[in-house]
Amino acid sequence: MAKQVILYFSNTGHTQAVAQKIAAVTGAQLVALQAEQPYTAADLDWNEPTSRTSLETNDSTSRPGIVMPDKRLISQADTIFLGSPLWWGQVPHVINTLLETGLFRCKDVRQFCTSGSTPIAKSTATLKSAYPAIQWGPSHRFTTAITGQEVETWLKAGNQ
């Protein structure tokens, strides 16, 4: 049986809740990705142009430090579900920090995001272009109103 891991970055709990629902359907192991310097509410204020998230997003070279997840767990995984919120249509740069470790090379990675309205297509295209050595499966945007049926449909799309 293929080994699956759900690696997710969540500050407000929305992405974590979606990751937990995906785990309930797939049985995959949950692993939270954490920034070395946790984000505060002020850091996450997207209305403030000088907030940490605004500054990081506007700097394409920004790679915030992360607490490295278990490398062995990632290396043994066949499929990785990679989740995050979308910030200005893109994944937070902590995701880039993780992807640039090289741990995801030749892995089946299925991106999911949380957003109330922003489509995932732009971030998916950016990740595929920036990290071509990763085998990108289908991506999906979920809201916190995710259902098991929605997860099943997404998973079936990747197995066709």
Closest CA to 54 of 63, 62, 45: 45
List the end-to-end C-alpha distance of the chain, in Å, as a whole number.
18
What are the structure tokens assigned to 155, written together?
């998973």
Cβ neighbors of 65 (< 8 A, separation 6 or more) are 35, 36, 37, 97
* Structural domains of the chain ordered from first start: 4-158 (3.40.50.360)
What are the structure tokens assigned to 83, written together?
């989740």
- Phi and psi at residue 26, to the nearest 5°: -95, -25
Cα(88)–Cα(7) distance, integer angstroms: 21
Per-residue pLDDT of the chain (160 residues; tens, 9 = 90+): 469 999 999 998 999 999 998 999 999 999 999 999 999 999 999 889 999 999 999 999 999 999 999 999 999 999 999 999 998 889 999 999 999 999 999 899 999 998 878 889 999 999 999 999 999 999 999 877 777 788 888 877 766 4
Cα(52)–Cα(64) distance, integer angstroms: 10
Closest CA to 112 of 5, 25, 8: 8
Helical pair 148-158 and 14-26, crossing angle rounded to 10 deg: 70
Distance of CA 100 to CAs 21, 26, 65, 68, Å? 27, 26, 12, 12
pLDDT value, residue 2: 62
